[in-house]
A and B are shown apart, each in its own frame.
Chain A
Amino acid sequence: MKDLFKVVKDRVRVNSKKFKKERADIPSGLFFKCPRCQTSIFKEDFDAAGRVCLNCSYHSRLTALQRLYITVDRGSFVEYDKDLTSKNPIDFPEYEEKVRCLMKSTGLNEAIITGECTIRGEKCVIGIMDSYFMMASMGSVVGEKITRAFERATEKELSVVLFTASGGARMQEGIISLMQMAKTSGALALHSEQGLFYCAVLTDPTTGGVTASFASLADVTLAEPKVLVGFAGRRVIEGTIKQRLPDDFQSAEFLQAHGYVDRIVPRKKLRHELYRLLRFHRKGEAVDWIN
């Protein structure tokens, strides 16, 4: 059991130089075309606004490292399970090559980074999914890392913050990927039973099997403005009903209106919002009142 909880010492170094370099890696053109309002804006202005659409405030995708950089206290992050990498459980054609290419292009070993950090001094376990890695689909590694993150948080009595983004279960891993929904939800249930706090931050896009498991099971559910969140693919539904769906369908605002999101929080306010929530749920806070 000790081994399982061995913290990987290899800290991810995130400095502003790396952050700028990361940004330059994102497929670029001169313009960013917003998927929500279809407005084209200068890439430079879009980046300067923190990758937020200046017209409709759609919050675009960040890499996991960018998200880490703007969320956690500098130097506080200690990564878990950095070395877990994918195998090919159902011998799916070309799966290994695809993963290898993505490891190279993203600099990540898989579609999520997990670890411990502080946010304005409040300690927590954090997980950040990266949609640039195979649309952050959940296979064995993503499922295992989330499960271990919850298990360690339970052991250490820490809150969990997860930034969700995913195209759903990773089809290339067949039924094994579907079972990760049950595995992660089981670990989450044990964490919850210990009276520990879990906050999900829904980011663009959160869909499929991730929506149908841990993304929908938080004590507090936050979402960034205008992000896509849903269970079924938009095109699947359009194919069934044979008509185009409105632009705001499956947006954070749509979810909020139907009662599935607590608050929609702009990116630049998220760190403060998370701090407030972690502060409320600090263990043993109300002891003086009870005794």
Chain B
Amino acid sequence: MDKLTAWERLNIVHNPNRPNAYDYINGIFEHYYEMQGDRCFAEDKAITGGIATFQKLPVTILANVKGKDIEQNRRCNFSMAHPEGYRKALRLAKQAEKFKRPVICFIDTTGAFCGVDAEKRGQGQAIATNIKEFMRLKVPIISIITGEGGSGGALGLGVCDELAMLENAVYSVISPRGAASILWRDASKEKDAANTMKITAQDLLKFEVAEHIIKEPISGAHADHNMTFENIIEYLIEALKRNLKKSIAMLLKDRYNKFRKIGIFNE
């Protein structure tokens, strides 16, 4: 599994039987209580959010939703959230802060939705606000990239104390297709772009953008959902312990420094 290219891993995460947000939620947590709406404009099915218990600990869950068939995908817009999705996520994160619940995010989106209405309702402002507010949220935030982490759309749920990635997950500044069409002016060079952009969990661990890689079953998470869930549970227990024992001041300082140190330049 160590030798797979970014392109091969992308093909694994696109397997239609790979678990989606609701599979992870039902397989890892108990008593999921979904909450809806951003209280400003609408409910966005591209992000689900709510409360659940994890090993008896109440937590808030935020997750990008990918559908399993065309009907589901129409409802959740292929996991591409509108501003109201990010604003709902922020509302629930603030609620988690009030009740001192840790926040656990499952990231799986090709990116925020690009459209006329998304622009009118401030897609950039919605994501920016989440980044800033998550940076200062006074409860632990653990984010897990389960499939694709695409650009600012992923970062809208991606500011956290620890970032874990499933073994075959990818995280990129732009989708390989987008990179190919902008940088090589040829969308068919998607495969080359994927392999050039350093987007695998292994790359991100090296860059210290991700802190942890969660093992998948041989051939991928689709092959054995339960084993994948167990590996995530094992990781979450440790990650929550590590972060819950920090004082709020220490938690926020460490979170600031996690991002503060990222950058490669000459001085």
Chain B residues with Cβ under 8 A from A186's Cβ? Answer: 132, 135, 255-256, 259-260
Contact B266 A232 (CB under 8 A): no
Nearest-neighbour CB distance to chain B for A83, whole angstroms, equals 6
Instruction: Kindly identify, within residues 88 to 117 of chain B, every residue whose CB is under 8 Å from any CB belonging to chain A.
Output: 112, 114-116
Nearest-neighbour CB distance to chain B for A285, whole angstroms, equals 26
Chain B residues with Cβ under 8 A from A87's Cβ? Answer: 264-266
Assembled-state Cα–Cα distance A214/B207 (Å) = 23
Known contacts A86-B265, A177-B173, A241-B115; A258/B127 CB under 8 A: no
Chain B residues with Cβ under 8 A from A232's Cβ? Answer: 114-115, 118-119, 123
Contact B259 A183 (CB under 8 A): yes
Chain A residues with Cβ under 8 A from B259's Cβ? Answer: 179, 182-183, 186
Contact A249 B265 (CB under 8 A): no
Instruction: Kindly identify, within residues 224 to 245 of chain B, every residue whose CB is under 8 Å from any CB belonging to chain A.
Output: none
Surface stretch bound by A, among B52-60, B63-71, B194-202: B194-202
Surface stretch bound by A, among B9-17, B23-31, B151-159, B215-223: B151-159
Provide the A147-165 mask, 1 if CB < 8 A to any CB of B, else 0: 1000000000000000000
Instruction: Kindly identify, within residues 232 to 277 of chain A, every residue whose CB is under 8 Å from any CB belonging to chain B.
Output: 232-233, 236-237, 240-241, 245, 249-250, 258-260
Nearest-neighbour CB distance to chain A for B213, whole angstroms, equals 15
Number of B interface residues in the complex (CB < 8 A):
49
Assembled-state Cα–Cα distance A271/B223 (Å) = 62
Q: Which of A81, A140, A141, A175 has the most CB of B within 10 A?
A: A175
Known contacts A178-B173, A186-B260, A214-B128; A230/B152 CB under 8 A: no
Nearest-neighbour CB distance to chain B for A270, whole angstroms, equals 22
Chain B residues with Cβ under 8 A from A189's Cβ? Answer: 132, 135-136
Chain A residues with Cβ under 8 A from B198's Cβ? Answer: 90, 174-175
Say yes or no for A76: interface residue by CB 8 A criterion. Answer: no
Partner of B263, one of A144, A188, A211, A259: A144
Q: Which of A89, A147, A182, A240 has the most CB of B within 10 A?
A: A182
Chain A residues with Cβ under 8 A from B155's Cβ? Answer: 178, 181-182, 212
A143-B263, A260-B122 are known contacts; what are 5 more A-B pairs with Cβ within 8 Å? A84-B266, A186-B132, A209-B151, A231-B127, A233-B114
